Amino acid sequence: MNKLIDTLRALGDLLMPRTCVVCGRTLGVHERHLCLPCAADVPYTRFWNQPHNPLADRFNAVLERHRGTEPMDYAYAVALLYYKGAYRNIPRALKYHSNLSVGRFYGTLLGRHLASAPHFVDIDLILPVPLHWTRRWSRGYNQAEVLARAIASALNAPCRPDILIRAHRTRTQTRLTVEQKAVNVASAFRVREGAQSTLVSAHHILLVDDTFTTGATLYACYAALRPFTTARISIATLAAVEGTPSGST
């Protein structure tokens, strides 16, 4: 069977050569998505083994800034890899170049790491950060949902893209400052009518997005969910921009 797959892949490579997502080099028959040198050097965070890690500290700093008087649990957060150098091409391939296959591959890898981490094994509801319907329609897919579905099957937990709604379309975030980003997404999300009972019965919800930059988008989803559930809410992303807990990046 493996031989047959190799033969078919070799034939496919003749017709349309596959290239490394990171460096663009033509891939060999046994290489998937990345060439061997790039695959050997992926800047993995290894945060999945650490309930307390720099990314979780950053997300908790965002939660702390918005917290009222009520006590707050430390939220777990994980990213598979750092968003840096040519490795930025991995999340970009998923988000901008319709490479759903690379999203499923790294989503599954992240899901397997979560499944082997004691603080993530009890996740019972997985929610992708939604796109506004017009953006989803023009792109044809939601990159966060591609990741969430792969993570969900590795964790054997339900993925529910129908619970959070992006209520209004936000401006592209790329050129905004941290404060502008926070305002831009603050009220962008709401819980769909009728989805409350699902949230009430959940114990550990995982919010999934493609990239963690300032945490503003994930926080806005967290804030939309919080009134409807006492569940622990954790976050997972494919990539994370390196930064400090003060959120200065």
Residues that bind Zn ion (CB under 5 A): 20, 22-23, 25, 35, 38
Q: At its nearest, how many Å lie between Zn ion and the CB of residue 64? A: 40
How many whole angstroms separate alpha carbon 53 and alpha carbon 247?
14
How many whole angstroms separate alpha carbon 155 and alpha carbon 151?
6
Reduced to 3 states, what is the DSSP secondary structure of residue 80?
A: strand
Q: At its nearest, how many Å lie between Zn ion and the CB of residue 161? A: 32
Here the tokens at position 136 are 């989803």
Cβ proximity to Zn ion, 89 vs 143, nearer residue: 89
Give the DSSP letter of residue 19.
B
Alpha helix (H) residue ranges in the chain: 2-15, 36-39, 54-66, 89-96, 100-115, 133-139, 143-155, 178-185, 196-201, 216-225
How many whole angstroms separate alpha carbon 219 and alpha carbon 177?
16
Cβ proximity to Zn ion, 4 vs 40, nearer residue: 40
Cβ proximity to Zn ion, 21 vs 199, nearer residue: 21
Cβ proximity to Zn ion, 36 vs 72, nearer residue: 36
Say which residues have a Cβ less than 8 Å from residue 49's Cβ, sequence separation at least 6.
Answer: 113, 117
Q: At its nearest, how many Å lie between Zn ion and the CB of residue 97? A: 16
Q: At its nearest, how many Å lie between Zn ion and the CB of residue 18? A: 11
Cβ proximity to Zn ion, 18 vs 190, nearer residue: 18
Q: At its nearest, how many Å lie between Zn ion and the CB of residue 41? A: 9
